[in-house]
Amino acid sequence: MWDADTVTTPPPGLRERKKQATREALRRAALRLAVERGPDQVRVEDIAEAAGVSPRTYNNYFASREQAIVSAVTADREARIAAAVAARPAGVRLTDAVTEAVVEQYTDTGERAHEALLLITTRTALRDAFLDTTADIEPPLTAVIAERLGDAGAHTARVLAASVAAAVRIALEGWLRPTGNAGTAGRSGAGELVLPSGSLPDRLRAALAPLAPAFDAAEQRTRP
């Protein structure tokens, strides 16, 4: 039996590789077509054809048309965030490890991805699909946080990971929406311009900051 050191390294297997190749082909086809013709002029049938599979197969891989386009940008961000957290030395505060890992993985999105982001912002359906990908970081984050907290804090880890995902989503929402803040606060009355239009890293840090006390408390409970 192979070494079970890392989580995601079973024997590659020819079958699985073809599967990932197909997935990647769909990603690329979806993004390329969306850029070429505009997002609304791309049907699932077109993407499938460009990737060389049947339309039916397409949504064995993606649940919606938008997911394929967006996944070309998000790729395997979840795994990278989890790895980035695990890579931090065990001495640093868990809060800082998570925050820095998130900021790091959301800012270096690459030059090409930034081009695609402009495309995404133009269509609300794509924006929503993009925002939904923040939920994907939850399981890997749960795993690495649980590792630091020990088995006693298993479901604490789950809650913290979900909270991080929620905070990231909020940061992204605000970032993607320079104008038009609809129905958020109840009756805050006067000022609504809490953050004029900060950069993405700033927004991420600001959104994660309120969770720091919860992380600290959870972390200290494991080392009295």
Partner DNA sequence: ACGCAAACTTGCGTGCACGCAGTTTCCTTG
Partner DNA sequence: CAAGGAAACTGCGTGCACGCAAGTTTGCGT
CB nearer to DNA: pick between 121 and 163:
121
How far is residue 145's CA from residue 94's CA, in Å, rounded to a whole number?
A: 8
Beta carbon of residue 79, minimum distance to its own copies (angstroms, whole number): 11
- The whole-angstrom separation of Cα 80 and Cα 65 is 24
CB 124 to DNA: min, Å: 8
Task: Show contacts of 142-145: CB within 8 Å, 24+ apart.
Answer: 143/7, 143/82, 144/82, 144/85, 144/86, 145/85, 145/94, 145/98
Of residues 41 and 184, the one with the C-beta less far from its own copies = 184
87 contributes a contact to its own copies by CB under 8 A: no
Query: By rule CB under 7 A, what string of x and - marks binding of each residue 31-70 to DNA?
Result: -----------xxxx------xxxxxxxxxx-xxx-----
Site for DNA in 132-191 (CB under 7 A): none
Number of residues near DNA (by CB under 7 A): 23
By CB under 8 A, residue 178 contacts its own copies: no
Angle at 139 between CA 137 and CA 145, to 5 degrees: 95
**Region binding DNA by CB under 7 A among candidate stretches 16-24, 87-95, 134-142, 200-208:** 16-24
Cα 179–chain centre separation: 23
Q: Is residue 206 near its own copies by the rule CB under 8 A? A: yes
Interface residues with DNA (CB under 7 A)?
13-15, 18-19, 22, 42-45, 52-61, 63-65
